[in-house]
Structure 1
Amino acid sequence: MKFEGTATYVATDDLRLAVNAAITLQRPLLVKGEPGTGKTMLAEQLAEALGARLITWHIKSTTKAHQGLYEYDAVSRLRDSQLGAERVHDVRNYLKKGKLWEAFEAEDRAVLLIDEIDKADIEFPNDLLQELDRMEFYVYETDETIRARHRPIIIITSNNEKELPDAFLRRCFFHYIAFPDRETLQRIVAVHFPEARQRLVEEALEVFFDIRQVPGVKKKPSTSELVDWLKLLMADQIDESALRERDPGKAIPPLAGALVKNEQDLQLLERLAFMTRRASR
């Protein structure tokens, strides 16, 4: 069982090695990197490549670890008991299975994505240590232990919003997805837009990297934003000359709202354009 990437996902050699190492070690793969570098898509494409079921657990700031195991709806059971409902006698009717439970009871080996784990409380990763280590957990309401039929392949993503505990990190195989170089970006673009004009792609990449390299940019455009921008350029039939021979009086390139996502960066680019115009006089 080896991951080699897919027709729609460009995986570098380092990333392929990391995925296959985590599978061999039977450890969760912790993936970090800039937003938009394909961390979440990795799990989706891995499941597709292996023909496995994908189970996704999106983490929010309010998410608790026990929700990944199960939740017991005591309020509904109390209401049903007051109404004399027959289902009240079986506590299983009030257990909502979490994503880990789903992955553990899957008929075949599944891919479990724990997406953006750093959004949760700092104790969240530690609260999952035993379950991820032993591949089992105890259900108090039914006095039973749920064990994984097949150990799932676990992909955990993080945007580095907060540090993760050392005890949790020791149990993971770690990989940082570095921002793609120009050649890799060209391959990614070719996957999404095989019919794109090469000159348009080259000029768009020039503009894209120019914006990323501007000192002080708060939100650098990501790979996914480059793809969105190129899609707009092609839909509006923007010629590469509009990118290559930009009017120095214009602050930002056409349709730059796909690349620049906050007013601070817009103002920064406008100031730089103003300074350029002043220097050219």
Structure 2
Amino acid sequence: MSIGNSPEDERPFEGDREDALPSIGRALQQARIAAGLTVDDVSNATRVRNAIVHAIEADDFASCGGDVYARGHIRTLAKAVHLDPEPLLARFSAERGGRPAPTPAAPLFEAERIRPERRGPNWTAAMVAAIVAVVGFVGFTAFKGGDDSGARDQVAEGSTPTSSTSASATPKKDSEPADTEPAPSDSAIAAAPQDKVTVQVSAPDGRSWISAKDHNGRLLFDGLLKQGESKTFQDSAKINLVLGDAGAIQLYVNGKKIEDDFRPGAVERLTYTKGDPQVG
């Protein structure tokens, strides 16, 4: 007795004679037993349900859903038990009066049909769309801000802040040594306009992530300030700073050094106006 089958499954049909040609179902059952396979083995290999395998081996093809599907099951099961399917199919056609007419798809044929998996929301596409939208918005904001020629002057890195030049003006020689000498020169201090706030951020002894915004909240800079580098920001009213490692940063506001003793690794949020230096 094979595992997965009841004794009745392996018992010969009553009335079978040794000299009689076995039926289609009996031939499939005998080939399965000779191959040492159980109904469960055949079902797992062919994806045909156990109930349908049992029914076909009993020559009951009603559960197949039609002659077309029955022929497909016979072919599939015959190959699984190493049996030539063509004689069985010819016999099936002869018993059914020739080749059957096409049969419409029936829900009973679910055994050989792989059901589609339910798909969840496409979070990857949504994330990509969100990133593209953010990048587009930032680019549009930067472009629009660059066209505003008289509202605010943002001082480019290493340039000397003046009241008559824009961020695209040629840097003066007085402020070029900022990478090697964090402190601004006397001329840079004297040139700081009185009607604006000018903030110079330097990293003489380390590096730190910094973020700078003007009084309207427009982002002036957001990134890593490496050791020896400096950035200068200017606005008509206020500069908002976020320092990722305040202990590595040296500040000059309106030409004057900020003497606050920032701890290494401390995150500081600072605001400076035209009347400073003092921490906002």
TM tier, smaller: under 0.3
Given the two structures, how large is their TM-score scaled by the length of structure 1? 0.18
Given the two structures, how large is their TM-score scaled by the length of structure 2? 0.18
Name whichever structure is richer in helix by fraction. 1
